[in-house]
Amino acid sequence: MSTWTGESIDNLKGKTYVITGGTSGIGLATARVLLAHGAHVVIGADDVEKGKRVRAELKEEGHPGSLVFRPLDLGNQRSIFAFAKAIAHDHPTVDGLINNAGLAAVPKRLESADGHELIFAVNYLGHFVLTSQLFPLLLRSRDPRVVSVSSLDHREAHLDFKDLEHHRDYSPDKVYSQSKLAILIFALELHRRCRAQGIHLRSIPVHPGAVTTHIFDRGPELAREWWSPRPLFQRLLFKVLGQEPDRGALTLLFAATSLEARSGTYYGPDGINEVWGNPMEAKIAVQAENMLAARRLWQESEKLSHVAFEVERSRSIGLH
């Protein structure tokens, strides 16, 4: 693959992208570039006041694209259903769904509004439900894409189907890594299921490398401002070697816009250890390619969410 820097992004006028967690970090950087190329962007995030500020700031920048902010709490299925219905009401088609929102710094085990472990709910299960709800709109696009943001940390994780939500032995770092493994497994399984049904949707997992955002420093019920589930040395390493969000967003933008981006292929930065650089094919840990685990995760996700995500029936079903 030739080096891709984002300079070759086509005019995106007429295309609609939905981005979760688009009010900060790589989500905001991705939204800004899509707007700069004429796309219509829907940002979903749970901080309404921040969403309003971001919308005003992006509007002042004078981008040719258009922007809508809608409240979205990925830990609350009522919020997810309302978000999806609002999008369906206003947009006949969604060209790209970017599952970006992430939560990491939760020092003790908390539960979402639906009673699920919070990191797992926001990073993975909520995105599983959202993708199922927007799938019919995606299938109306000529080139539909689902971009799912995983992490280098997926390599350290394993799915424990006996305790997916970590009722025992809770560790925020461990739970975060498992949630990022789950979103990668989901993206690869979505690709397989679409191909098996002859559905030409691109399901593309990505990771941004090391990025200087606050995901490991800010979270619900932090005991002190400086608390983080990450060891101090690792946090300092991220600060020194990490990319700025606009560089970290390159893999997301590549997957969302480039004709070179292949469904079922995992992309990350091309630098040393995939920490920084331009998009290239990334390494997938062996546990992420376990198809038996992928099928079981899909089944468990349907059970936990009480949402049937049947790809083969999605051409004819409507939103929840």
Active site members: 176
CA dist., res. 38 & res. 14, Å (int): 8
> Do residues 80 and 306 lie in contact, with contact meaning Cβ atoms separated by under 8 Å?
no
Helix orientation angle between 291-305 and 126-138, rounded to the nearest 10 degrees: 90
Residue 316, phi-psi category: left (phi > 0), alpha (psi -120 to 50), beta (remainder): alpha
CA dist., res. 171 & res. 3, Å (int): 38
3-class state of residue 124 by DSSP: helix
Length of the chain: 320
Residues contacting residue 40 through CB under 8 Å, at least 6 positions apart? 15, 16, 17, 65, 66, 67, 68, 91
CA dist., res. 41 & res. 136, Å (int): 18
Residues contacting residue 268 through CB under 8 Å, at least 6 positions apart? 152, 206, 207, 208, 209, 251, 274, 279, 280, 282, 283
Residue written as tokens 């051409």?
315
CA dist., res. 95 & res. 175, Å (int): 31
Q: What is the CA radius of gyration of the chain?
A: 18
